[in-house]
Amino acid sequence: MKIIDRLLEDKIHISFEVFPPKTDAGYEKVRSAIEQIAGLHPSYISVTYGAGGGTSKNTAKIASYIRDELGVESLAHLTCASSTKAEVQTVIENLKALGIENILALRGDIPEGMVFPSEDRYHYAYELVEAIRRSGDFCIGAACYPEGHVENEHKEDDIKFLKQKVDSGVDFLTTQMFFDNDIHYNFLYRIREAGITVPVLPGIMPITSAAQMKRSQELSGTVFPRRFLAMLDRFGDHPKAMEQAGIAYATDQIIDLLANGVKNIHIYSMNKPHIAAKIMENLSEVIQC
């Protein structure tokens, strides 16, 4: 099933992101986590491509397993900065052969030491979107950045490039993590004004440790609101308390989004099924409304 068909339904959809193992030795542990997350009955599960394409060989395998064996729709990430155009096309054809209908098209991080851009690689995500669209009848997702992409100095440019990407054939967008819902609401207003009308899924990251917060800030440059920093200051040195507080904070974000008419929520699970389960438990009655 194409994810866009599900997102356009007049009901609430919760989805999760998982990532492949960094080594083959970790495959069974990751598979166990994914099975538990699938048991929460999400609308779909997305599978990341790995930094620099490093874990990409398992993306299609896991996406196929989620759909065929666990009975949950899957979304395979595909990045292009770490691969040549020919390598990207091989991945697309493999996904097609496996019957994967949904792809999240990303430029991805530029591998350290690589000369980029080069002629044999796609320079921008919109070029990858065009290639996927030419290659088959896929549902294509893409990323967006409520606080602006770190490589764009002006938010106006960010919206312009996002519009170009969507117009290239994107069916839906998923946001980078954010921790202040007002940033998301303002972003939605700006992109709708720019004529971007596809569904936008807010990406929610449950921060359950101080180290995770630091890593998230390094990767995305996101702004943490005062009340989040107060929570971290109070509970950051107490792992169990910080985990509980982080789950509560993420739950509160989701409830606010749902109360304001957002229908589709994407949760970055970090392969932690017990955290995903706690959030779904907290939302058990809310998502029935």
Each residue's pLDDT tens digit, 194-218: 999 999 999 999 999 888 877 777 6
Encode 28-66: b = buried (16+ Cβ within 10 Å), e = exposed: eebbebbebbbebebbbbbbbbbbbbebbebbbbbbbbb
Task: Give the integer Cα–Cα distance in Å for 163 and 80.
Answer: 19
Tokens found for residue 53: 């394409």
Each residue's pLDDT tens digit, 164-204: 999 999 999 999 999 999 999 999 999 999 999 999 999 99
Task: Give the integer Cα–Cα distance in Å for 65 and 73.
Answer: 10
Higher pLDDT, 58 or 264: 264
Contact between 17 and 38 under an 8 Å Cβ cutoff? The reply is no
Percent of the chain with pLDDT over 70: 91
Intra-chain end-to-end CA distance of the chain, in Å = 24
DSSP state of 45: E
Determine which one of 17, 73, 127, 243 is catalytic. 17
What single-letter amino acid sits at 144? C
Task: Give the integer Cα–Cα distance in Å for 120 and 89.
Answer: 12
- pLDDT of 123 > 60? The answer is yes
Return the beta strands (E) in the chain as ranges. 13-18, 45-47, 74-79, 102-106, 139-144, 172-175, 200-201, 203-204, 264-268
Task: Identify whether 156 is a catalytic site residue.
Answer: no
- pLDDT of 259 > 90? The answer is yes
Nearest to 106, CA basis, from 139, 137, 144: 144
Task: Give the integer Cα–Cα distance in Å for 1 and 155.
Answer: 34
* Cβ atoms < 10 Å from Cβ of 84: 14
Higher pLDDT, 141 or 223: 141
What is the pLDDT, as a whole number, of residue 30? 94
Most confident of 66-75, 113-122, 225-234: 66-75
Tokens found for residue 41: 């009955």
Task: Give the integer Cα–Cα distance in Å for 81 and 118.
Answer: 10
What is the pLDDT, as a whole number, of residue 24? 78
